[in-house]
Amino acid sequence: MNPSSSKEKAFLCARAALDHKAIDLVILAMQNLSSFTDYFVICSGNSDRQVQAIASHIEGKLAEKGLFPLGIEGKREGRWVLLDYGEVVVHIFYHPVREFYDLERLWFDASKIDLPPKRKVPRPRP
pLDDT tier at 1 (50, 70, 90 boundaries)?
A: very low
Domain contains 119: no
69-92 pLDDT tens trace = 999 999 989 899 999 999 999 999
Number of Cβ within 10 Å of residue 32's Cβ equals: 9
Residue predicted with more confidence, 94 or 35: 94
User: What is the extent of the structural domain holding 92?
Assistant: 12-112
Domain contains 4: no
DSSP, residue by residue, 19-48 = HTT-EEEEEEE-TTT-SS-SEEEEEEESSH
The number of domains in the chain is 1
CA 125 to chain centre: 35
Domain contains 5: no
Domain contains 75: yes
CB 89 within 8 A of CB 14: no
pLDDT tier at 121 (50, 70, 90 boundaries)?
A: low
Tell me what the mean pLDDT of segment 88-97 comes to. 94
Domain contains 121: no
Tell me what the mean pLDDT of segment 105-109 comes to. 84
Domain contains 54: yes
Domain contains 90: yes
CB 49 within 8 A of CB 4: no
pTM of the model: 0.86
Residue predicted with more confidence, 113 or 126: 113
Q: CATH code at 87?
A: 3.30.460.10
Domain contains 122: no
